[in-house]
Each structure stands twice: as C-alpha cells, then as structure tokens.
Amino acid sequence: MKTVYLDNNATSQVAPEVLEAMLPYFHDLYGNPSSMHSFGGQVAQKLREAREQAAALIGASPDEIIFTSCGTESDNAAIRSALATHPERRHIVTSRVEHPAIKVLCAHLASQGYRVTELPVDKNGLLDMEQLVESLTPDTAVVSLMWANNETGVIFPVEKAAELAHERGILFHTDAVQSAGKIPIDMKRNKIDMISISGHKLHAPKGIGILYVRKGTKFSPFLIGGHQERGRRGGTENTPSIIGLGKACELAARHLERENTEVKRLRDKLESELLARIPQSRVNGDLRQRLPNTTNISFEYVEGEGILLLMNEYDICASSGSACTSGSLQPSHVLRAMGVPFTMAHGSIRFSLSIYTTEEEIDFVIEKLPPIIERLRNMSPYWTSVAKACAAV
Amino acid sequence: MWEYTDKVREHFLNPRNVGEVDNPDGVAEVGSIACGDALKLSFKLDENNRIKEAKFKTFGCASAIASSSALTEMIKGMTLEEAKKVTNQDIAAFLGGLPQEKMHCSVMGKEALEKAIENYQGAPAKEPGAQIVCECFGVTDREIERAVRENNLTSVEEVTNYTKAGGGCGNCHDAIQQIIDRVRAEAKPAVRPKLTTLQKIKMIEEALEREIRPSLKQDGGDIELIDVVGNRVLVAVRGACASCKASDITLKQFVEVKLRDLVSPDLIIEEVAP
C-alpha cells in the first residue's frame, strides 16, 4: 500500500530535483569551498548560487543569508545574538504557542536570570496586539513570535508586530519555519530583523537551515570558528545540503501559487468532508489567518494516539496534540494555550499537506477516518447515549 | 513513535471484551477525560464465585486499550481472591512489557480491578485518610506509596510514569520525593537483613547464576566466584571477559551494582588471578 503522507509540518520529502542537484556534491565535487584550487572553488560558486536562490524566496539580499544546521540552531543563534548585542537588556517577549526551539530556549534563559513574557492567545490562537504593546519595555532585548504555528497553521501578524517593536527600538525575530514556502515572505516590505527557516519543511533535506539577519543588524555568532558565512557561523559548509536547499527555495517560490490554490483546495476538502462525516468534531485555530496546507481537527471522546495508530494500519501519516503522543502527560501546549477543552484536545489530529498530496489520497482519508473514529468511540466510556444524542442533533 | 510489543499492538487492534456486562456484579470507573485516559470495568461471577465475564470501555491511548483488554482476559476464571493478587506488573508482563512512560496504563487497570471488586464486596471505595498529592491528576499519597512500594520506584520521574502524579504543573514534586524517601526508608530494614557469610555466599551465587552470568554469556564472557571475605567478593573472569579491556568497568558498573542491589549494599567486587 502506498503511504499517504499528511504530516508535512513534521518533515517533507526531498524534491526529486533537489536530490538531483545535490548528488554530484557528495562524490564527484566534494571539494571544500574555502580551498584555493579550482576543484574547491567551483563548489564556492555553486554555494553563491544557492545563497541567491534562498535570498530570492524571501526577497532578501544574498549576504543577509546565513546557512545553519537547522531551524533550532537559527532560533538559538538569533535570540542569543540579540541578547549578546544588548547586554544591558534582560527581557524577552515571546508567545505561549511557540515551537520548543524558542519555548524551551526561553525557559532556559529565564533560569539564567532573564525575564520572559509569554503572550497569551485567544481561543482561535490569535495574538492580542495590545498586550504585545503593553509587554514592551526599555529593558526588552528581543521579541520572538512565530510566523505560523506548526500545530494549527495559525498565522501571526509578525510584520505589524515587528513595526511595534521597532518603534520602541527593540529587535524582532520570527520563527518562519512553517511559513517559508507556504505563504509569501518579502523582507523588503517588512521590518523584521531576523528570521529562521528550516530546509526539511520545504522539500530540502534535514540538517540544513537558514538564519536571515537584516543588513545593519548587529550580530554576535553562535557557532564560533572559521571564516565561513562571513565569520557569522563557523564550520565547513554542508555543501550538498546548501545546494539542495537553494534548489528547494527556487522550487518553493515557483510553487507558492499552487500551494495557495491547489493545496488549499485539497486541505479545505479534507476538512469539510471530515467535519460533515464525523459528528462532534471541530477545527482548532482561526479559519482565515491560517496556512493553506494545515488543518487541526479535534474528534471528541477519543484519544489521538489510538487514531494515529489505526490510521497507521492504512499507512496514513498525520500527528496529534494528545498527551499520549507528546511524551508528556498533558496535551499540546498550543491547544491548552487556546483553551481547547480536554475532551477535544486529547483527540486532536493535525493533517499537513504538500504540493505532492493528491486528490486520491485525500479521498482515501475521507473514506477511512470516519469508521476509525466510530470504532474508538464505541470503545470509549464517554461515548454514552447522551453524547450520541447530542451528536445526532 | 512508541515502542510497543506485538502483543500490545495485537490487543489494541483486536481488543477482547469491549463493552459493558449486563447486570454486573462489580463495576468501577477510574481516570477521567481530563487526565487523558479512563477505564470502565465490569464483571460478572458464576455459581462458583469465579469471574465468568469481564468487559471494559476505555478512553485512552493504544497501551491503555491493550492493558484493559489484557486485564479482562487475565481475570476471567479467577476467584476474587485470585483477582485481587493481580498487580500492574502482571498486566504489563502479559503484554510482553510496556514502555516506562506508559506503565500508568497498567496501574489504571489494577486500580479499576480493585475498585470493581470493592464495589461488589461493599468495601469503602476510597482508602480512608488518603490525601490528594497531585492536584492535576488527582493522585493520592496512598496511590503513590503503593506504586513506589510495589514497583520499587526511586525517582519522581518514575512515579510520574507509573501514576501520572507530577506530570502536570510539577508543584507536587517535593511532596512525591518525600513519599519516595519515606517508603524507601521503611523498606530498607525489611529487604536487607543482616546476612551470615553462608547466606551471603548462597545469595551471591544465586545472583550470579540468575542475573549476571546469562548477560555476560551473551557477549561470550563468564565469571566465577572464588571466595567471599567479609564484604569482599573475589571473582575471576572467564571467556571473552578475560581478554576484554572493559572487564573492569563491567565488574564495577554491572556485576557490583547488581550484587549490591540483590544481596547487600556493602559488597565490594575484586578480581583475582584464577
């Protein structure tokens, strides 16, 4: 049976064109781009091209692009640089729904004496901009808010938030790991100082990322060593992956429209059909301010891990915000921050599509999921006659 | 992805005894939807007072469903006295083991069984004097004490894996640690009586045979007990161990740790020339 992969916010397949672009640089063209000989030099030329491709996706200039090992490294480098370049400031503003790369980092910094404000979100996962303004103080070193949420796909107005921070002389960073390649990003039209991007979410391989640092923004390197990345990130370049990421960025720019039409159409079909066929289900997160590829649906009275494992029997891949799948005992911090009731949060499933998702795959899930939910509900002590009656109305 | 055994998978995909027994003799519901898992267990006795029928309804993850299914299979045919002796480890063992983080699923099964039997026998549902320690998951001091005692738990993290206590806000971690310390302090004298040399030698030999030599043999090694002098355990290594540079580490970190755990905490292992 063919795998139906609807977990692209976790990771995505390497595009065939990306793999093809990378392959020569493992074996034939393995030179070090820093070398004096042309065997290495030709790789340096290829890296320049990749940097241009990456810059083009987000409307940046190539020297604003730093290649890193992953989104988490980019996040760490950005926040630590902001603190290092403003040593007199001891306050960080972020949100309650950030990815662990920011959330856990900020908790760690809090344990080292920094003050951290986590902005709340409303029941649709949206920020209150007034609260953002109130949180900003002369002591604030950096504001870090994700562009789009990995679990719900909800989009924050980061461009507006960056302006509010800038008006007060505060640096602004955004984790754009989920939004890059899915919605338009143009750094010429906003004031964001730093953004983090991860390769493997946009059909490049794992282990490669980007940190964008706006020209003129003070930067203190996280990884100290050689002169690579103009001294802003030491370490020999991961040449095949950088070249692959360049290609992936070029493809992403080309596919952006399809992402927002065709992928969105399939996502909407999946969502509306599941809601229609499965009673007591609902979407988590704002329906409009949302990535085109993501839907997070809660099925009341069942637990997410069971749903995932039964879908797994059909080779359908998705993920869940339930406690059992998170490894902790509490459901997803994102859903809790949104005040999603426990009865709903435990049974939440995230489907995230890509341009490789087909209509047949979506139809297959629409056919297979309703009986799975029914089967688990029939096993659940909460699926009582009362609940069934409510569902029937 | 969790590492589930084939048996867990099989009981999750094909759960036995789903539903509710008609006119049950005993019934109990434990857990809550807020906690993320809940189990409703019901059973019926036959004319010989053996469990004739047992059924469950479970809200929870695969291991919760598998544990419930396993429990109902295990207790069928048992008298209530026999059923009372079923422990959470028995449930986990029936399934070929559960991941540490999922042990609380087996504890939930044990609790439901106990409460269902109490429900039939008319005993008090709540242990007298039990205090809630973990507010997030409603776990009492008695429940934590029992889990620590029966599963030999030593850390807050382990207690969370087995009972869920401490898995939420974390405010009760100190209280849980105090319970662990208290139970372990009580347990010590009972587990570690003063040993005569003869008893010590016997226990060391038994521990070597049962727990230590099989592991060493898997790597082509072996160990032989030469003598016991006071608390000094003199051994010689054999097979692959004899030429292995890491055998010192094996002796100190595996053999000595095991012997201290199983026999006496004062033992010192020493290698002697054969």
Tell whether A375 is covered by a domain. Answer: no
Q: Least CB-CB distance to B36: which of A322, A327, A382? A: A322
Average pLDDT over all residues of chain A: 95
> Looking at domain B6-119, which CATH architecture does it have?
Alpha-Beta Complex (3.90)
- Average pLDDT for A40-51: 96
pLDDT of residue A322: 77
The total number of structural domains in chain A stands at: 2
Burial of B198 (0-12, 13-18, 19+ CB in 10 A): exposed
Provide the pLDDT confidence category of residue B123 given band limits of 50, 70 and 90. Answer: low
The domain limits of chain B are: 6-119, 132-191, 197-271
Query: Does the beta-carbon distance from A379 to B58 stay under 8 Å?
Result: yes
Most B CBs within 10 A among A329, A377, A383, hence the mutation to make, goes to A329
> What's the pLDDT band for A157 if we cut at 50, 70, 90?
very high
pLDDT tens string B230-257: 888 888 888 877 777 777 888 888 888 8
According to the model, what pLDDT value does residue B192 have?
Answer: 54
Which is the catalytic residue, given A70, A106, A317, A324? A324
CA-wise closest residue to B62 among B17, B27, B20, B95: B95
Q: What count of CB pairs under 8 Å joins A to B?
A: 74
A260/A64 Cα distance (integer angstroms): 27
A49 & A116 share domain? yes
Q: Both A241 and A261 in a single domain?
A: no
* pLDDT per residue as tens digits for the range A265-299: 999 999 999 999 999 999 999 999 999 999 999 99
Buried b (16+ CB within 10 A) or exposed e, A313-338: ebebbbbbbbbbbbeebbbbbbbebb
Strands (E), A254-307: 281-283, 294-299
Nearest-angstrom CA–CA distance, A67 and B173: 42
Half-sphere exposure (Cβ direction) of B105: Cα atoms closer than 13 Å:
29
The pLDDT value given to residue A321: 81
pLDDT at B128: 62
Domain annotation covers residue A211: yes
Chain B residue with Cα closest to A331:
B36
Q: What percent of chain A has pLDDT over 90?
A: 91
pLDDT in tens, B1-47: 678 999 999 999 999 999 999 999 999 999 887 777 899 999 999 99
CB B5 within 8 A of CB B97: yes
Interface touch B65/A306, C-beta < 8 Å: yes
- Within an 8 Å CB–CB cutoff, is residue B157 touching chain A? no
Our CA angle for B149, B92, B58, nearest 5°, is 105
Q: How close does chain B come to A346, measured CA to CA in Å?
A: 6
Give burial (CB, 10 Å; 0-12/13-18/19+) of A260: middle
From the CA of A305, how many Å to the nearest CA of chain B?
Answer: 5
**pLDDT of A377 higher than 80:** yes
CATH annotation of B197-271: 3.30.300.130
**Percent of chain A scoring above 70 in pLDDT:** 96
Tokens matching residue A83: 């603190």
Q: Do B167 and A324 touch (CB under 8 A)?
A: no
* A329 → closest Cβ in B36, B40, B64: B36
Whether A177 and A203 share a structural domain: yes
Residue A314's domain is classified under what CATH number?
Answer: 3.90.1150.10
Residue A230: pLDDT band (50, 70, 90) is very high
Helix (H, G, I), strand (E, B) or coil at A93: strand
* pLDDT(A52) > 70: yes
Alpha carbon B84 to chain centroid, angstroms: 16
| Among A298, A302, A303, A373, the residue to mutate for chain B (most B Cβ within 10 A) | A303
| Mean pLDDT (whole number) for B54-72 | 94
| Residue A379, in any domain of the structure | no
Task: Select the residue from B2, B30, B61 to test the A interface by mutation, using most A Cβ atoms within 10 A.
Answer: B61
A351: three-class secondary structure by DSSP: strand
| Cα–Cα distance measured from residue B151 to residue B153, given in angstroms and rounded to the nearest whole number | 5
Residue type, B179: I
Gap between the Cα atoms of A139 and A49, Å rounded: 40
Active-site hit among B35, B134, B172, B241: B35
Which residues in chain B have their CB less than 8 angstroms from residue A344's CB? none
Q: Which of B17, B33, B35, B161 to probe the A interface (max A CBs under 10 A)?
A: B33
Q: Does B15 touch chain A (CB under 8 A)?
A: yes
Domain final position from A220, A252, A284:
A252
- Which CATH number does the domain housing residue A188 bear? 3.40.640.10
What SS3 state is found at A186? Answer: coil
Asked if B62 has any chain A CB less than 8 Å from its own CB, the reply is yes
Question: Would you call B244 a catalytic residue per the annotation?
Answer: no
Q: Are residues A162 and A192 in contact, defined by beta-carbon separation less than 8 angstroms?
A: yes
Instruction: Supply φ then ψ for residue A214, to 5 degrees.
Output: -60, 140
Q: How many CB atoms lie within 10 A of CB B257?
A: 13
Residues spanned by the domain of A337: 4-10+255-369
Do the domains B197-271 and B132-191 match in fold? no
Share of residues in chain B with pLDDT > 70 (%): 94
The pLDDT tens digits for B170-218 are 888 998 999 999 888 887 655 555 777 788 888 888 888 888 888 888 8
Chain A closest-CA separation from residue B245 CA (Å): 35
Helices (H), chain B: 6-13, 62-75, 80-84, 88-94, 103-121, 141-151, 156-163, 173-191, 197-207, 213-218, 247-249, 257-262
Distance CA B157, CA B114 (A): 25
| The residue to which tokens 């003050």 are assigned | A115
Name which of A303, A343, A378 is nearest B37 (Cβ-Cβ).
A303
Same-domain pairing of A327 and A193 = no
Residue A384 lies in a domain: no
Nearest residue to A196 (alpha-carbon basis) of A69, A74, A63:
A74
- Do residue A186 and residue A299 come from a single domain? no
Q: What are the angstrom distances between the C-alpha of B155 and each of A153, B136, B175, B176?
A: 38, 19, 12, 9
From first CA to last CA, the distance across chain A in angstroms is: 37
Same-domain pairing of A26 and A162: yes
A377 falls within a domain: no
- Assign A245 a pLDDT band (cuts: 50, 70, 90): very high
Reported as a single tens digit per residue, the pLDDT across B126-179 is 556 678 888 778 788 888 998 898 888 999 988 888 888 888 778 889 989 999
Q: Do A303 and B38 touch (CB under 8 A)?
A: no
CATH number of B132-191: 1.10.10.1100
The CA distance from B160 to B170, in Å, is 10
- Identify the contact set of chain A against chain B, taking CB-CB distances under 8 A: 301-303, 305-306, 309-310, 313, 322-325, 327-331, 342-343, 346, 378-382
Residues A268 and A205 in one domain: no
More confident residue, B135 or A309: A309
Q: What is the mean pLDDT of residues A115-119?
A: 97
Q: Tell me, yes or no, whether A393 lies in a domain.
A: no
Residues of chain B found within 8 Å of residue A302, distances taken between Cβ atoms: 59
Nearest CA in chain A to B99: A327
DSSP annotation of B195 reads: P
Cβ contact A303–B36 (<8 Å)? yes
Name B62's Cβ contacts closer than 8 Å, sequence gap at least 6. Answer: A305, A306, A309, A324, B2, B4, B8, B9, B12
Given this model, what pLDDT does residue A197 score?
98
* pLDDT band at B274; cut points 50, 70, 90: low
